[in-house]
Structure 1
């Protein structure tokens, strides 16, 4: 996790420098395009807020500081891992790109953490976040369209037999019989989105465009866009799963969603149905999934995330029937990270000014 944060940070640093001269409306464009939400209350009204003097940049290249400086004149940006950071850690007011128990134990003054990913479970589970009422913001919605495309690609790979034909190609086999009589179309099929948030809505939009019936669950209520025919509450998951041809998990990992894809749920699914997981591996009981695949209780599973992760060599999932595995890369694309950079810069500006912050995490809910 730390390595991934450093890697993302390095990319952010390079791109921040490249986009330092971007148009002044870029942040506004990102907010409008992705439908980013701003908090109802100005951050200056939060207990403990003060104009920051020092902000820690974890893993972000040295040139990132100057690029952010225009958004926060007078603020000192410090690179994590340097002697300067170690000497000044106790006086850090905010951190970008890192959240850990060790950091918060040493940096008692931190009041805001900006994550550069959408997932927040490893951050909000740190007791100090709640105990000190630390503000957490993330990248919700930013990678939704990209992850949605990945989920749809996985679904179509199954329906068109690519998971069978690609290995046959490597073996040099012309094997039309691999899917004889089993090639499928998605038009008219039912897709269930579990967790109708930013990512889930993007999946639903694309599935509807393919002529699918889309249903969903969400914890916050029954409202949803017109292209979702029915939005149920979490306690309706099993009923909706029994009616679905494809189930796409886009729910955040919380105590309520941990292990929800288990033997009981797999027993409710159609034997012709597929599970696609682009959220978190912890939502699936892996041993139950393997058993369901091996006993043909479900038709297959496409996994961008696993539990454990990374999936170790020799793990049964590698050889389980009808499985597609990608290594937690569903948010990767050729678009770069300019949108993330705009959010980081805009939230730095807003925090320093005491304005309403973007993409505030509900620490109690865990997303």
Structure 2
């Protein structure tokens, strides 16, 4: 499972160096800064909850035994993939940093899964999660500000023709001018944010600050922040896309969003519009996007995620015009790993105490 916040090795090394006291002292600040959502009811009210005695840790979390132990001194932490884990998995109460069918099948007592990524589709699609009503929490909102900056970089890069100039620089070519209409401004233009959640709201905030009109869609209702002029439901996507100059996908991957960006939707968009995807490649019908770019149905695209991924050599997307591709790195940052560490530690303390959890995933909705 890919870590959207940092690659696993970097994530581990940064978090190992984090101060336990600093994490404890700033947990409240992290919750406030990122707008983390607290569950309505304490976890002790859930059927099957009990004070955890054993927790399985995997991925970077497996290297954080000291930090985790300080948050829950009475818990025994077991590292995934070890002989000890195999012998004790049946009595594990929760897992941190791992979610796979094999672990859930062997760990019949597992009641809570703490993911270290924002994306949850690979986990919540496991039948046991829903069948056993397992609590799932994740890193929603934590990478939102960083990913939003990546969206702005892609949008401005396309608007100012950097997708043309940067390759030309590498070849030592001086291109004095782009084709007429290719260099554009974003001030006064309209951005549509598809999926107005934590990341989408951060994108919208920055677009508004650049003087753009921002519209959005969301599945849960029509409410939104003041800097979004209109929030529509998911069935309004075609209409809103036809009115936008930039369409940004920040929606989670669910059965409802699989392949929603297809030939029909690209045909609705303005021929001068840009499409940016930093969510999931599976939301896009890749062949339709290639056609839309080659046929100039849309003006360009910025992709941090693709389908397939990694994008193999020779794939048609590599040669599509007016396209910026980055390799699923929009959450990379120099900020370090304090925020995700604090979320894991705080949720661990809350779970052990039976308190209200942070960043609870709606398993039925898939995000």
State the distance in 1 between where 2:301 and 2:5 align: 28
1:103-133 CA distances to partner (integer Å, 9 max, x unpaired)? 1011111110000010000000000001111
State the distance in 2 between where 1:126 and 1:8 align: 23
Say whether the 8 Å CA contact 1:6–1:59 is kept in structure 2: no
State the distance in 2 between where 1:346 and 1:316 align: 45
For the pair 1:206 / 2:206, whether they are aligned, the reply is: yes
Helix, strand or coil: the match of 1:176?
Answer: coil
| Aligned-residue offset at 1:90 | 1.4
1:107-160 CA distances to partner (integer Å, 9 max, x unpaired)? 111110000010000000000001111000000010000000000100000011
Gaps of 5+ in 2: none
Say whether the 8 Å CA contact 1:13–1:61 is kept in structure 2: no
For the pair 1:316 / 2:306, whether they are aligned, the reply is: no
State the distance in 1 between where 2:216 and 2:267 align: 19
TM-score (norm 1): 0.96
TM-score (norm 2): 0.96
User: In the TM superposition, what are the counterparts of 1:4-23 in structure 2 within 5 Å?
Assistant: 8=8, 11-12=11-12, 14-22=14-22
Say whether the 8 Å CA contact 2:61–2:97 is kept in structure 1: no
1:65-102 CA distances to partner (integer Å, 9 max, x unpaired)? 12111211110111111221122111111111111111
1:192 counterpart residue number: 192
State the distance in 1 between where 2:4 and 2:312 align: 17
For the pair 1:149 / 2:137, whether they are aligned, the reply is: no
Structure 2 vs 1, CA of residues 307 and 363 (structure 1 numbering), >3 Å: closer, same or farther? same
1:78 counterpart residue number: 78
Structure 2 vs 1, CA of residues 61 and 366 (structure 1 numbering), >3 Å: closer, same or farther? closer
Which has the higher mean CA deviation after the structures are superposed, 52-61 or 251-260? 52-61
State the distance in 2 between where 1:350 and 1:9 align: 27
State the distance in 1 between where 2:130 and 2:319 align: 42
1:114 counterpart residue number: 114
1:338 counterpart residue number: 338
Which has the higher mean CA deviation after the structures are superposed, 12-21 or 188-197? 12-21
State the distance in 1 between where 2:296 and 2:181 align: 18
State the distance in 1 between where 2:277 and 2:99 align: 25
Structure 2 vs 1, CA of residues 6 and 118 (structure 1 numbering), >3 Å: closer, same or farther? closer
| Aligned-residue offset at 1:256 | 0.8
State the distance in 2 between where 1:57 and 1:145 align: 27
Structure with the larger RCO, 1 or 2 (CA within 8 Å, 6+ apart): 2
2:24 counterpart residue number: 24
1:132 counterpart residue number: 132
| Aligned-residue offset at 1:3 | 9.0
For the pair 1:357 / 2:357, whether they are aligned, the reply is: yes
| Aligned-residue offset at 1:60 | 3.0
Which has the higher mean CA deviation after the structures are superposed, 83-92 or 186-195? 83-92
2:45 counterpart residue number: 45
1:262 counterpart residue number: 262
Say whether the 8 Å CA contact 2:5–2:332 is kept in structure 1: no
User: In the TM superposition, what are the counterparts of 1:182-261 in structure 2 within 5 Å?
Assistant: 182-261=182-261
Gaps of 5+ in 1: none
State the distance in 2 between where 1:137 and 1:246 align: 32
Structure 2 vs 1, CA of residues 23 and 303 (structure 1 numbering), >3 Å: closer, same or farther? closer
Say whether the 8 Å CA contact 1:10–1:61 is kept in structure 2: no
